[in-house]
Chain A
């Protein structure tokens, strides 16, 4: 099977979905023919589908999302892009109060099939306004579905599902450092349903639940641990809403030990939600050690590379947590 980068996989998803359905349109800052998006995901799309369907906007996140939500309500299937995840805060009302609630408040008469894409994550020394991971904010809001793929394969399969098969607003979060990672992506068309976690590596001694770049860091840790005879299972939930707790519980039944790893801030972060769900949804009796969480420190992401590395979880911290739950 061929190997391509996540940005290429995402681009393919757009190409396939835009060819398949004229209602699919893209809207965002600098995504068109002049700059192709900050991470070049939309490269070539304006050329193929025209500037009407791949639309550059002024610098106004609220306008981008507001427009996309209105377009979705009136029959299009827009995909809106916020260039950096931190800036999505400017569009929170449109996302959490409007997009997320409209179908509910109109008794199901209106649907809002909008996909809101934005990259999260640090590691590139982009400072506190361009490095955050805010997925927990959206997980906390009722009415939104959330995907956060870690691989090219998952990126394409989940984006196609978000565009074509989900008639509700989807927050489609990407990670800056996952964009250029290569992975197997089949030539033929495929979809990945929401709510299905993926076991990235099978193991028997401890379960790591990780998202985004932390999946890759955890896989490296698992590889190192294997040399010590410790068998680590790595599970990527892939979508936070809906959340596949079953796969995780089944893993916990096997291993009895869990480390939840995420790049978002630990306090009230997604690791807290995942750990709680494990306790509530049937994992408790199978735990042989308290669940450990590895997440970013409760600070803005620093600009200084050494400090940034200190704040964001690294392999060392993950390995330490694994050892601790195995004690």
Chain B
């Protein structure tokens, strides 16, 4: 009896496997249960065992071939046994490889094939197949599973020797109708959320992004801000300081104020800074246009207006247009440090953490200073590490020395 060696389904999700290495060659005697070939499944490399004892009569699938579950990869039988129709078995394997295999069979047919006349060949139907993995289930369990459309591959048997019995199918059904974990609500995945998802996916998949991290001292800017409030009664948000400083730094390092689309890198003079705002409907990034030329008071007012519009869902398309750089700030949530994903086609994005008092060593002494992390994620296709670092350097200098800045 010729037994077919098939790719066995090793797990529920397994659909195909790759032949890694044949551990036996044609003509080798094999024992039932003996490993004969290594295959690579989605998960791991495993050894496939001989389904019966005999001689490995014919290897049908070469190493490195990707094969579906149940594909016939070899034949085992008695040494002088007539083989079934090899060609049809090979042609059942994935096509591109099978052509070469058919030729090789025609060129060098093994001796036992040469002696075959068509009358002697066994029609494939007469071959007793060793099933890939027979599901042992009681007729009652099978009937119930069929009636309820259950694939018994997914059911664990608790009967004698692991037989699937009625109670196993019933339990599976109970699990199925219980619809998994208790749900609070179901939402549609659409709108801003879906668009954002599409963008971040595209960004993550297509842009080689690197991140530089720098901790800056914000003690001075805090004092500067307080002084403005106390002396001039002007309340400027930290975001406004950031937007203004970033815009100014971008003027000096304009490669970061750029977009890459197709084969064109556009470097901008205008510094249109997007400010990421979390809203109940999702993340929005309205823009402060030409921030570098606007006074800080204007920027601060504009940002307040944009936040209000974002919360009221009143942002218009011109509020989003022509963004050249994005700032994402999670400091108000107590986040120390994080990395953001670039908004394509922009070249970079700045992530801002919280300001927190830290012990800082200055001139050999420990001082308590307000510190903050900045992380700059940039498109490494058009920005090298050094320019990105220099940008952060400039930004730090501006924020740490507010008195020297023209706000």
A residues near B, CB below 8 A? 256, 284-289, 324, 327
Q: How far is the CB of B157 from chain A (nearest CB, A)?
A: 11
Are A285 and B160 in contact, with the CB atoms below 8 A?
Answer: no
Bound complex: CA A284 to CA B163 (Å) = 16
Q: How far is the CB of B165 from chain A (nearest CB, A)?
A: 5
Q: How far is the CB of A283 from chain B (nearest CB, A)?
A: 9
Are B166 and A327 in contact, with the CB atoms below 8 A?
Answer: no
Complex partner residue of A286 from B140, B159, B163, CB under 8 angstroms: B140
Chain A residues in 8 Å Cβ range of B142: 285
Q: Which are the 3 A-B pairs with shortest beta-carbon distances? A: A288-B140, A288-B138, A285-B143
Closest to B167 in A: A288
B residues near A, CB below 8 A? 138-143, 159-160, 163, 165-166
Chain B residues in 8 Å Cβ range of A327: 159-160
Are B139 and A287 in contact, with the CB atoms below 8 A?
Answer: yes
Chain B residues in 8 Å Cβ range of A288: 138-141, 159, 165-166
Bound complex: CA A285 to CA B144 (Å) = 9
Are B139 and A284 in contact, with the CB atoms below 8 A?
Answer: yes
Q: How far is the CB of B221 from chain A (nearest CB, A)?
A: 76
Bound complex: CA A187 to CA B140 (Å) = 45
Interface centre among A289, A324, A327 (most CB of B within 10 A): A289
Q: How far is the CB of B143 from chain A (nearest CB, A)?
A: 4
Q: Is the interface of B mostly helix, strand, loop or mixed?
A: helix
Bound complex: CA A55 to CA B346 (Å) = 117
Chain B residues in 8 Å Cβ range of A324: 160
Bound complex: CA A286 to CA B147 (Å) = 12
Chain B residues in 8 Å Cβ range of A284: 139
Are B159 and A287 in contact, with the CB atoms below 8 A?
Answer: no
Q: How far is the CB of A170 from chain B (nearest CB, A)?
A: 36
Closest to A252 in B: B140
Interface centre among A256, A284, A288, A327 (most CB of B within 10 A): A288
Closest to A283 in B: B139
Bound complex: CA A288 to CA B166 (Å) = 6
Are A289 and B159 in contact, with the CB atoms below 8 A?
Answer: yes
Q: How far is the CB of B136 from chain A (nearest CB, A)?
A: 11
Q: How far is the CB of B147 from chain A (nearest CB, A)?
A: 10
Bound complex: CA A285 to CA B142 (Å) = 8
Please, could you name 17 A-B residue pairs with CB atoms under 8 Å apart, sorted by A? A256-B166, A285-B139, A285-B140, A285-B142, A285-B143, A286-B139, A286-B140, A288-B138, A288-B140, A288-B141, A288-B165, A288-B166, A289-B160, A289-B163, A289-B165, A327-B159, A327-B160
Bound complex: CA A327 to CA B138 (Å) = 12
Bound complex: CA A71 to CA B166 (Å) = 56
Q: How far is the CB of B186 from chain A (nearest CB, A)?
A: 38
Chain A residues in 8 Å Cβ range of B160: 289, 324, 327
Bound complex: CA A50 to CA B237 (Å) = 127
Closest to A286 in B: B140
Bound complex: CA A68 to CA B141 (Å) = 52
Chain A residues in 8 Å Cβ range of B138: 256, 287-289
Q: How far is the CB of B73 from chain A (nearest CB, A)?
A: 34
Chain A residues in 8 Å Cβ range of B139: 284-288
Q: How far is the CB of B171 from chain A (nearest CB, A)?
A: 13
Closest to B158 in A: A327
Are B140 and A256 in contact, with the CB atoms below 8 A?
Answer: yes
Q: How far is the CB of B155 from chain A (nearest CB, A)?
A: 13
Bound complex: CA A256 to CA B143 (Å) = 12
Are B143 and A286 in contact, with the CB atoms below 8 A?
Answer: yes
Bound complex: CA A288 to CA B163 (Å) = 9
Closest to A253 in B: B140
Closest to B143 in A: A285
Closest to A324 in B: B160
